[in-house]
Structure 1
């Protein structure tokens, strides 16, 4: 091998020029891989070689040598082999180079491997048993040997190199090293979570300082929004013999973090904490957390029992804590718990307004507002109560999903202008808590609101993200998303996709909102497929599960679904009677979408004169509302009725507009129906529906305006709560429709479209 003293002499020569070759690019690695493994080496295999080595020439050479020696075929089917052989190939080379260096170099390399990238000189010196100046010298040697990187702070040239050095230590040596690292870092004043990362790798030592530090690290991680780490630290803290008086608080903090992740362990930890907490306020808070955890992980009757017991034990001076627990008790039937005697009377009494300033009073007002909206109240009555519950941000801060969701549901059902701004406030609070479970709920509610507006692309985007999270955490949570997403797919014409999606849901508590929503989606799919007998059977089961007194068709449109099935089976009179009932309920509620929906369906079944009057009213009601898809459906229904009444000229305009609006919404079945009807009148769809500023969908219009104002794709995505990819898709479509090729031309193109 090379003489290190001669190399050092050469390096010190003033005439020597130090050249550090950069990391190899992907194309360079592909070329080298093909040269070494054969010209027919698969591109994906070669790219995986770059990914495994980061383009480091030495690591790549070792990997290629090992692949040749093992006779691995360089094709896409063997990409996984690279991940298996890579560490072994690199390890041999790294340990061979390290063995040629001094004992101090080995000690420093091992210390940094234990401490991790970014290790400082003080802790490295303690762990290596050297002084700091000597560590600095050795680091330079390790950089020269291409074991450490020359970058700051100290780090290995590649994670595989660190792994090779780390795993060269025996398991017992690693454990002792992590314990020494934790003590050294604590003595040096490192933040708790840095120390705790090492304690996670050390068995319980029955030492009080370990428990205290791990709990401090868990608290810090929780405040920072790193819920996963908080759970890891706090669970590890439980393994230490914490003082008896501190264990309940530790259990409560752990249970709270686990509840944010909807982990079933939260229930037992919170239950145990509550049994040993002495402070009444802490016990009430613990009971609240336990009730919330039980609702999503156990039969909801358990949650009700805990809430009732906690209220009975609460001292009378804790008024708002009692209201919080009462609100959760009143809310539990949403998840299938039997309604307690007197529930309806209590909710009716709460309709007068928010009782006080605390979160508990606002929770009661929120659930009262939603109950009122569902059981016959008018939007004009219920919306002010919901807004009062949400005022000041107290409710959103205390409960950013469940009971805030009750209040915002009232706004969404009423198509109120503040719906999305409140959802944005809720999303900010949820992101602060770093809870995937709560984030899934926000995505679901946004998707539901987008669907009501008929903006199907936005609804699909957020519901897809909700489903990705919810399916991992809770069958109850995922059922809300699955049912709503199925409605989106039905509106888009993807009936096979809707059927597949509905088949993914898990079992639900009978009588729960989740169960009702899934049954509604099942019926809607059968109606879309004109499977009338099956639809009638399914809708009768769905209607039987709707809570007594719930009549708002914006929430449970079972009458119109059943009417469509009956009409399909030839029972015209029964269908009309049901739609007349639903229309009466829709008028009582007073929001445009549900009213236009009922008017449209009934108008389509009645005779020419009366039917046309109702259809014209349906168009008029929906025209000024945010419900664009319902507007398209009403226009198409009116145009179709006029065409059947032998008024083709009058039919063309509503059909053209209905076709254009449905196309913008992405509602293919409605657009195809409008197109077919338009052709039947002897007309053709206007070409302008596919180009020019007027062809932009509402979503494309919003994205284009934000981009024209200078927003980046990421900034726009954050503001609209969609993905950057969705923004990119909207902009690409916008450029095509406006006949431009870049963002720079957006402002002028949009300005040209506005009236002077």
Structure 2
């Protein structure tokens, strides 16, 4: 290189900057040299081994040449080459790579090119897409452009690591407050806030979004209804705190059909789930939703809920197939957070079928893709599945360790938290800690009933609570709960929960009736695909036939139960003992209670509580905090419930406020 003529050095530097994009015409345009001079320089450089026969600069040589250039030289060469490529209408990614190398200042068209390049790379090279969006966001001067790029940066970051989006949360809140996000972007931003448990910010944002619906944005309320219904399933407290959202949830007159196919299937699926629709209807709509959606940042939550809807409808094999297909798509995109969430659902599907070791492996893998501290409030699902699998495998210490770790307190105000409480209750039930198990299941009862969310074939808290009462000898309470579950499932289907309820009801019946109930239970559980629960029902039925003197039938059923239990990776026990060794129970004494007693107040609730305790009226509080009196009333209602008090006069107790804060 040192022996090159000045012209040869210029040609070599141009070829090094251009890389695979180098050509004689481009070098001439970039350097201003004539073709004859470039050809002569090329002959010399090729003979010296600095250029390949095709005129391209080998990567090691290119790296050395570029390093030898001064920083201003490098930036200027990359900037001029970017402009040349732009004038040639070259691909956005090719131009963007040169813009990134050139740095600032950039031409006016750079923002749009970088944005387009990010879109091109988002499906194949996430890190490149992030580089392009960051550069575009840095260069953007238009507020609307910057807001859209902030959302794009957040959504791309989310795919790899949701925790990385936390740094943008304050900016997202500000964009939501100032109305600078389009409705679909605002919806996505609210989902991110919900993930992190920023419930107050999400409530405020949703309230503002719905307040801007009509007449400024005709049809927005209809377009948002699927999102409202989805939020009602997983974050029902948010909907209860936004009157417009609550009205929208219950407004069946809105014609979702006018919006587009994807919204139709999403709205119908979520509507049927919320209002305990027929199982075959839920399955059909969920499959249509899965068929109509391509996996991306905005559809992921809908597709995850559709998979769980198939599980709710006992379409276990269908759910497993779709989950496997979506996992392949997520893997192709190298989207770690997508892989984690889909793997958590895959674990839940495996758990339902009784494949305990695969369920444990999948749940562990989900928590490896995305560590527990990055899951936000949704961590309840993978933790619950892993703990349930370990409990059913008899690994009570491991299950207790999983459930004794820290979780976001806001999780317990979501349906994800109910999966978690159910897992805690089942562990305590397994080790014979019946009063504490009852507390966990009763917390599920209170949450689901108060929020008007019934997912009877996903979260059958009635049958679990019925089992506690049955073991405590409270036969009548057990029977009532089992019959409630049966009535719910009889109206809308649900083989799995119905089969478990029939098995529990058999414990409260006379021998002849119990055998009939157990036969029905076996039929329902066989239809559900839940092999481990089927084995338990067969064991009970075997015992009933043995007690009736039908030893041959009992032996046949017992062998079948034993085979099923073995396929689930669990040791079969003829006694099917309800209680566990006392030593195991003692090991679990330190399982810390969660979600019971007085709950922590949110920041907004703390501010309202302190002002109310100091004698301010609702109107005065509203004026001081820049909210409506209605919002203050809603905050006070939640404060009274969380502190277990009955009114404002009891707020003067500093002890209550100190404990809550």
TM-score (norm 1): 0.62
CA separation in 2, counterparts of 1:114 and 1:132? 18
Q: Deviations over 1:491-530 (max 9, x none)?
A: 3343333333334563142320121111111111222222
Q: Give the unaligned 5+ runs of structure 1.
A: 1-97, 678-756
Does the 8 Å CA contact 1:181/1:198 hold for their aligned counterparts?
yes
Partner residue of 1:536 out of 404, 413, 438 = 438
Asked if 1:672 corresponds to 2:575, the answer is: no
Asked if 1:608 corresponds to 2:545, the answer is: no
Question: 1:413: how far off?
Answer: 0.8
Aligned residue for 2:427?
525
Partner residue of 2:81 out of 171, 176, 184 = 184
Aligned residue for 2:499?
596
Does the 8 Å CA contact 2:257/2:263 hold for their aligned counterparts?
no
Q: In terms of mean alpha carbon deviation, does 234-243 or 418-427 score higher?
A: 418-427
Write out aligned runs for 1:658-669 (5 A): 658-666=561-569, 668=570
Asked if 1:217 corresponds to 2:117, the answer is: yes
Partner residue of 2:131 out of 228, 232, 255 = 232
Does the 8 Å CA contact 1:255/1:267 hold for their aligned counterparts?
no
Aligned residue for 1:585?
488
The SS at the match of 2:104 is coil
Partner residue of 1:620 out of 506, 523, 527 = 523
Q: Cα 1:218–1:641, aligned 2, differ >3 Å: closer, same or farther?
A: same
Partner residue of 2:378 out of 477, 492, 501 = 477
Larger radius of gyration between Structure 1 and Structure 2: 1
CA separation in 1, counterparts of 2:210 and 2:360? 41
The SS at the match of 2:314 is coil
Does the 8 Å CA contact 1:351/1:365 hold for their aligned counterparts?
no
Question: 1:561: how far off?
Answer: 2.4
Q: Cα 1:169–1:536, aligned 2, differ >3 Å: closer, same or farther?
A: farther
Asked if 1:500 corresponds to 2:397, the answer is: no
Q: Name the count of aligned residue pairs.
A: 558
Does the 8 Å CA contact 2:273/2:282 hold for their aligned counterparts?
yes
Partner residue of 2:252 out of 350, 355, 367 = 350
Q: Cα 1:132–1:544, aligned 2, differ >3 Å: closer, same or farther?
A: farther
Asked if 1:629 corresponds to 2:526, the answer is: no
Asked if 1:196 corresponds to 2:96, the answer is: yes
Write out aligned runs for 1:385-400 (5 A): 390=289, 393=292, 399-400=298-299
CA separation in 2, counterparts of 1:447 and 1:504? 20
Q: Deviations over 1:719-755 (max 9, x none)?
A: xxxxxxxxxxxxxxxxxxxxxxxxxxxxxxxxxxxxx
Does the 8 Å CA contact 2:226/2:263 hold for their aligned counterparts?
yes
The SS at the match of 1:673 is coil
Q: Cα 1:343–1:613, aligned 2, differ >3 Å: closer, same or farther?
A: farther
Q: In terms of mean alpha carbon deviation, does 532-541 or 245-254 score higher?
A: 245-254
Q: Cα 1:217–1:624, aligned 2, differ >3 Å: closer, same or farther?
A: closer
Q: Cα 1:654–1:415, aligned 2, differ >3 Å: closer, same or farther?
A: same
Write out aligned runs for 1:448-467 (5 A): 448-467=348-367
Aligned residue for 1:409?
308
Does the 8 Å CA contact 1:523/1:535 hold for their aligned counterparts?
yes
Does the 8 Å CA contact 2:115/2:133 hold for their aligned counterparts?
yes
Does the 8 Å CA contact 2:391/2:427 hold for their aligned counterparts?
yes
Q: Give the unaligned 5+ runs of structure 2.
A: 578-661
Q: Cα 1:522–1:411, aligned 2, differ >3 Å: closer, same or farther?
A: same
Q: Cα 1:174–1:200, aligned 2, differ >3 Å: closer, same or farther?
A: same
Q: Cα 1:499–1:214, aligned 2, differ >3 Å: closer, same or farther?
A: same
Aligned-residue RMSD, C-alpha: 4.5
Aligned residue for 1:325?
224
Q: Deviations over 1:404-429 (max 9, x none)?
A: 44444333211137544554675577
CA separation in 2, counterparts of 1:528 and 1:102? 84
Does the 8 Å CA contact 1:460/1:488 hold for their aligned counterparts?
yes
The SS at the match of 1:350 is coil
Q: Cα 1:403–1:645, aligned 2, differ >3 Å: closer, same or farther?
A: same
Does the 8 Å CA contact 1:182/1:196 hold for their aligned counterparts?
no
CA separation in 2, counterparts of 1:288 and 1:460? 33
The SS at the match of 2:258 is coil
Q: Cα 1:176–1:570, aligned 2, differ >3 Å: closer, same or farther?
A: farther
Does the 8 Å CA contact 2:11/2:41 hold for their aligned counterparts?
no
CA separation in 2, counterparts of 1:644 and 1:466? 45
Does the 8 Å CA contact 2:74/2:102 hold for their aligned counterparts?
no
Does the 8 Å CA contact 2:196/2:376 hold for their aligned counterparts?
no
Q: Cα 1:573–1:152, aligned 2, differ >3 Å: closer, same or farther?
A: farther
Partner residue of 1:652 out of 528, 552, 555 = 555
CA separation in 2, counterparts of 1:485 and 1:105? 65
Partner residue of 1:486 out of 374, 380, 387 = 387
Q: Deviations over 1:470-508 (max 9, x none)?
A: 337432233322222322333334333333333456314
Q: Deviations over 1:94-117 (max 9, x none)?
A: xxxx9999999999998888777x
Aligned residue for 2:186?
287
Q: Cα 1:111–1:385, aligned 2, differ >3 Å: closer, same or farther?
A: closer
Aligned residue for 2:338?
438
CA separation in 2, counterparts of 1:545 and 1:551? 10
CA separation in 1, counterparts of 2:478 and 2:142? 69
Question: 1:301: how far off?
Answer: 4.0
Asked if 1:468 corresponds to 2:468, the answer is: no
Does the 8 Å CA contact 1:284/1:314 hold for their aligned counterparts?
no
Does the 8 Å CA contact 1:370/1:407 hold for their aligned counterparts?
no
TM-score (norm 2): 0.70
The SS at the match of 2:118 is helix
CA separation in 2, counterparts of 1:402 and 1:646? 53
Question: 1:372: how far off?
Answer: 0.9
Does the 8 Å CA contact 1:207/1:240 hold for their aligned counterparts?
no
Q: Deviations over 1:360-417 (max 9, x none)?
A: 45443232111012xxx54356556656x73871697895332344444333211137
Asked if 1:364 corresponds to 2:270, the answer is: no
Higher relative contact order (CA 8 A, sep 6+): 2
Asked if 1:557 corresponds to 2:557, the answer is: no
CA separation in 1, counterparts of 2:230 and 2:104? 42
The SS at the match of 1:650 is helix
Q: Deviations over 1:307-358 (max 9, x none)?
A: 3322332354855432232332343342242514587776455399954352
Partner residue of 1:297 out of 189, 196, 209 = 196
CA separation in 1, counterparts of 2:62 and 2:397? 49
Q: Cα 1:221–1:272, aligned 2, differ >3 Å: closer, same or farther?
A: farther
CA separation in 2, counterparts of 1:136 and 1:105? 10
Question: 1:576: how far off?
Answer: 3.9
